[in-house]
Amino acid sequence: MTTDTNQPEVADGLGDPEGLRDPEGLRDPDGFGDPGEFPPPPPKKDRRVLRAALRWVSAVAVFAVVGAGTAYGITRADRTDVPGLATHSDGRWTYPTLVRPPLPPGKPGPNDDARNPAGSHFADLRKLVLPAPAGATADTALKGTDGWLPTGTFLAEFTKADRGSLRQKLVDKGLRHITARGWTTADGTHTRIYLLQFDTAAVAEDLINHQFMSYSSPAYALRDGDQYQLDQEFPDRARPDHVVMVPYTELKPYGAQQVAQAYLATGDTVGVIIQSRKGGALSVPFEQTVTLQSELLA
C-alpha cells in the first residue's frame, strides 16, 4: 500500500482547506468561518472507554449464549443424565430379556383361531413361566419334578376347607399338568406363579369366568388372605390382548401381610399369580409381574 503525498493533509484542529470535513458548507455557508453561528462539533470519545464498553457488551453476550445453551441442555436431557436430578425408581423389578420358546415346526400359536381353534399351547409350558427378577431368591418348593408340579403343592395355597372341592373341580375339567415358579425379592415380596394347562381354551376361560371368581371376590379362599375385592386400579394398558385377566387385592384390615392375586387365561392355560408382603402388597411389581406373564402366554 502506498501513500499519495500530494493529497492535502487533514488533521484535527487544523481547518479543512478542501471542504472535506464540511463538503456541503453546512457549518459555514458563507465561508466566513464564524464560530458563533453553529455549535462546535462534539468532542471525540476516548477510544479506551469505547474498547472497555465493547468488552463488557461482548462478555454479556457470551454469558447469555452460554446460559441459554445450558438451559436448553437441562430441559432436553433425561433426568438421569443431570447430576442431582436422577429419577427415583418407581418400584419396578429388573427382569431378564423375555423370549418365547420356539414353536414346533408348522404349529400355530395359542391365539391363532383359524389354525388352532382349541387354543393349544404347543410350546413347552415350563418355558413359558416368567423368570425371577434380578436379585431374587428362588422358591425351591415350586421346582417340582422335571419342572412339573404336583397338584397338591398348588392346592396348598388355599384353605383346607376349599382344597377338596377345588381338587375335584380340576379333575372334572381335565387338568393335564401344572408348572410353577416362585421367588422372594429384597423388599420382602413373595411371588408364586402357577400355570395350569387344560385340553381347550374354552375350559380355561370357563374356569376363570365361572369357577375361580365369584363376581367381586375369588371363589376359593387363599390360606394367607381373608377378604378380597376386584383391583379397580389395575391399569387397562397392563392387560394384553387375547388374555382374560381378573386381579384382586386384599381388603383392610389384613394381618401381618397383604396378599394380591390374579387369575388369567389365554389359550388352554390358566395362570394363578399370588404376591404377599409384610406391611402391604406393592401395586407396581404386582402389575408388572401379571402383565409380563400374560404377554409370555399370549
Bridge partner residues of 213 (DSSP) = 218
**How sure is the predictor about 6, in pLDDT bands with cuts at 50, 70 and 90?**
very low
Bridge partner residues of 183 (DSSP) = 138, 191
Beta-carbon contacts of 162 under 8 Å, excluding residues fewer than 6 positions away, are 220, 221
C-alpha cell of residue 174: 381335565
Residue ranges of domains in the chain: 15-88, 125-297
CA distance 40 to 231: 91
According to the model, what pLDDT value does residue 214 have? 64
Residue closest to 152 by CA, chosen among 174, 124, 178: 178
C-alpha cell of residue 265: 387365561
Whether 80 shows a pLDDT value over 60: the answer reads no
Q: What is the pLDDT of residues 260-271, one digit of tens each?
A: 999 999 999 999
Span 276-282, mean pLDDT? 95
Residue closest to 277 by CA, chosen among 188, 191, 192, 193: 188
Q: What is the pLDDT of residues 141-176, one digit of tens each?
A: 999 999 999 999 999 999 999 999 999 999 999 999
Q: What is the pLDDT of residues 191-211, one digit of tens each?
A: 999 999 999 999 999 998 887
What is the DSSP code string of 166-183? HHHHHHHTT--EEEEEEE
According to the model, what pLDDT value does residue 292 have? 96
Span 268-278, mean pLDDT? 97
Alpha helices in 26-106, H assignment, sequence order? 47-76
CATH class of domain segment(s) 125-297: alpha beta
